[in-house]
Amino acid sequence: MLEMISRRNALRTAMALGLGGAMLATSAGCTAEERPRELAVAGGEAGGFYLEFATLLADLLQRERVAEKAVALTTGGSLENIRRVLAGEATFAVALADAAAQAAASTGNDGGQLVALGKVYQNYVHCIVREDSGIQAFADLAGKTAGVGEVGSGTTLTAGRVIAAAGLSLETAGPGRAVKQVNLGLNQALASLRDGSIDVMIQSGGVPTAPIAAAAQELRVRLLDLSELIPSTRAQSGFFYDRVLIPANSYGNATAVWTVGVANLLLCRRDLTDHIVRQTVELMVEQAQDLVPKSSTGVQFLSPETLINTAGLPLHPAAEAAYRALHG
């Protein structure tokens, strides 16, 4: 059942695109209510939930005249999105909470430059095999080949951590029993699963993820239960991972399965203009219904109680002030 996400995080990020590239509008560079020429939301792969959400957000920002123009960017996913925001190539980034935490820790957070506008939706780790593969459990993947997401995606990070927690990485399982991890995007992985060049695809996204649902109409698939791996994944990699349910029949006749859930955050730089952040937060809270992708029945976190729970990453100061003004 779809839970509406309270959209509280201020997307007050102004990007003025020049001929040489994108420049973020900072507090020093704009007057109090100056409207930027262009904002960009770094999303994800074509057909994926990230890009669908990013497109809805960009459309809303433009329609409500937060910017003259707002665009969604097709990217490899979380890690690339974070890099683009920090480099000033995008205004906002959709990213997995574990990827955001890793980026903040590995860079020392560039003096606190990476901040959040809110927790926006639940991400579901899909571990998919062909029904005729004989693979019944994650332990059966020893020595098999897995598509683990495109280079630059948060899926690659999460998948590697789950594999390590299962004792199936090269370091723990040893040669011949380790899962061979290959970087394949969503559509590439589906094609490879279909032709048998990989044994399993691991993909993070909403439920249902449209290209997987479409493929399941012709290719009978099974989703593996990952819930028993959550305690060890949390112990090794942090408390970003929750037990969530993929309902029955989300993908063809596949039965319901418990899996790993990771929250998605909406991120920006700390120097993004305050008034853009405030306006974006107000849109997320007051027009949440316009930010729920039609293809997904997964949990959305666009509510006051959940938007502010950003997995330890600080909120943009203007976002925090906007939430207080809206909800006390």
Q: What is the pLDDT of residue 300?
A: 74
- For the residues 118-122, what does the mean pLDDT come to? 93
Q: Which domains does the chain have, with CATH numbers?
A: 14-121+265-327 (3.40.190.10), 123-262 (3.40.190.10)
- Indicate whether 188 pLDDT > 90: yes
Q: Which of 12-21, 81-90, 167-176 has the highest mean pLDDT?
A: 81-90
The amino acid present at 203, given as its one-letter code, is Q
Q: What is the pLDDT of residue 5?
A: 33
For residues 3 and 302, give the distance between their C-alpha atoms in angstroms, rounded to a whole number.
Answer: 8
Q: Nearest-5° angle of CA 172, CA 157, CA 262?
A: 115
- Indicate whether 216 pLDDT > 90: yes
Q: What is the pLDDT of residue 328?
A: 65
Q: Decide: 144 and 180 in contact? Cβ < 8 Å.
A: yes
- Indicate whether 84 pLDDT > 70: yes
**3-class state of residue 83 by DSSP:** helix
Q: What is the pLDDT of residue 305?
A: 75
Average pLDDT, the chain: 87
Q: What is the pLDDT of residue 106?
A: 79
- For the residues 101-111, what does the mean pLDDT come to? 75
- Provide the pLDDT confidence category of residue 303 given band limits of 50, 70 and 90: confident
For residues 261 and 274, give the distance between their C-alpha atoms in angstroms, rounded to a whole number.
Answer: 31
- Indicate whether 16 pLDDT > 60: no
- Indicate whether 25 pLDDT > 60: no
Q: Which segment of 39-43, 227-231, 299-303 scores lowest on mean pLDDT? A: 299-303
Residue from 149, 203, 153 nearest 181 by CA: 149
Q: Which is it for strands 92-96 and 38-42: parallel, antiparallel or unpaired?
A: parallel
Q: Decide: 207 and 254 in contact? Cβ < 8 Å.
A: no
